[in-house]
Amino acid sequence: MERPLDGPADAPTPGPLDGVLVADFSRVLAGPYATMMLGDLGATVIKVEGPHGDDTRTWKPPVDDGGIATYYLSINRNKRSVVLDLTDPGDLAAAQELARRADVVVENMKPGGMTRFGLDHPTVAATNPSVVYCSISGFGTHGGAHLPGYDLLVQAVSGLMSLTGDAGGPPYRAGVAVFDVLTGLHAAYAIAAALRHRERTGEGQLLETNLLSVAMSTLVNQSEAYVGAGAVPHRMGNEHPSVFPYQPMPTGDGELIVIAANDGQFRKLATVLGDPAMAEDPRFTTMSDRISHRGEIEQRLRARLATRSAQDWYAALTEVGVPCGPINSVDGGVALAERLGLEPVVRADDTAATPTVRNPVTWSATPPSYRRSPPPLGADSAEVRAWLADG
């Protein structure tokens, strides 16, 4: 996109995607998360919204001091918002022109939804053959094309909820829309790779991903347990099927996450707890042995941990390299990241009052930038419409 539209809010150091124009026809979470990642790296992202705006604008509470939904704020920085009613011929023509000029198009309508507007991949590619076009759905474009793509639904049908919760209790969803976020990440990396391919060959391409396929992949060891060994995983509460200990354990004044993911860590744990013989017991020598005798080891660990506070054990175990930690609330997690120098909170260069959470990757040469706070609905409509009309 021409530099005049980018304006004075550009980062002083161009990002690796500087000059890439993204037409973002997505809404809610997976697509907007992907396009925010692209925007953080310098891409110009134009967020196309209908007259009522992205659904997440209404997902309240919580809200910031200005009454804006924090859900929306979490996934929409570094974008411009233009309101285009695709049922209006003039607005539809503007949307089609935007897609014609874009380097990247991202959409997550129900499969086939973009076709009725002439914004599907074949139509866009006919006038923009080098476009990288990314379609995100819940269940793909074949037998599941008619199914609505909600993260909770995918958590249920993929098997994740069957793995989450106490062994004897009901299934639970994860506390965040994990498959939406993971699908957004997969979309962003696929787009970056497709742009690299286009740079070498001049060819655009269609990228398709969906929440269920991402779920199958990111269930990792749990899905492979079934695919590779025919073993159907089940709920184990906070225990791990292949590593022990790897769970919260009670101490003298509260719970502490305690992990011994290898034999060396287990020996250190036993020594610090004052029970070095536990690590020498032939029943507990290897991880497989410890899994087989989980109950016996847990009794000994609980007895030792009960003698001191969680903070005391945290200090002692961390000093020797045994992974452990408290179970924080979100404010505690942010505070820890700040203490560790990870700088988790950022503010946009446009002096927006509401901070957001920083991009989690550090680049030595092309760092992310926070040029624009999440835009109000239609904040850039006049500017974008004028640019599109300028031919």
Q: Which residues are catalytic?
A: 180
* Angle subtended at Cα 29 by Cα 28 and Cα 32, rounded to the nearest 5 degrees: 90
- Dihedral of CA atoms 57, 62, 67, 72 in degrees, nearest 10, equals -30
Q: Amino acid letter at 65? A: D
Q: How far apart are the C-alpha atoms of 43 and 338, rounded to whole Å?
A: 28
Contacts of 27 (CB under 8 A, 6+ apart): 49, 54, 55, 56, 108
With CA atoms as reference, report the closest residue to 350 among 367, 368, 374, 366.
Answer: 374
Q: How far apart are the C-alpha atoms of 33 and 43, rounded to whole Å?
A: 14
Omega of the bond leading into 355 within 30 degrees of 0 (cis): no
Q: Which phi and psi angles does 267 have, rounded to 5°?
A: -65, -45
Give the length of the chain. 391
